[in-house]
Amino acid sequence: MVLKAVLFDFNGVIIKDEAIHRELNDELLIAENLPPQGKEFWKVSVGRSDRAALTELLKSRGRFVTDEYLDKLIAKETTIIFVSHAMEVINQYCDRVILIERGEAIYQANAR
């Protein structure tokens, strides 16, 4: 059978990354002095762009949202995926490590 297509998740990845995305979102909220609240992430984020989700979330918390403010927050949430089997390189360049097996994130930790 010949591969005819690769289907990506909404945000363009081929792993189940919602838990990782939620952790980044929670860190972003805490940095903005907005503690995460229950299932709020799932309500506003899943299946939506970062911009749309953050706009709704921040407005619901009483924040005045501008394009510049959103750009700043989204830039903070940026993640670079670096794939390697060389742990010494991962320790040198990465803050976090995620072990992926068969498309599932099975382990996460600080790299150092």
Q: Are 47 and 10 in contact (CB under 8 A)?
A: yes
pTM of the complete model: 0.55
* Paired strand residues for 53: none
CATH domain 11-79 topology: DNA polymerase; domain 1 (1.10.150)
pLDDT 10s digits, 17-73: 677 778 878 888 888 898 988 888 888 887 777 788 888 888 988 999 898 888 888
Max avg pLDDT among 2-16, 44-58, 81-95: 44-58
Residue spans of alpha helices (H) in the chain: 18-31, 40-44, 50-60, 67-76, 87-93
Nearest Cα neighbor of 33 from 71, 73, 66, 68 is: 73
- Domain coordinates in residue numbering, the chain: 11-79, 80-112
* Exposed/middle/buried for residue 57 (C-beta within 10 Å: 0-12, 13-18, 19+): buried
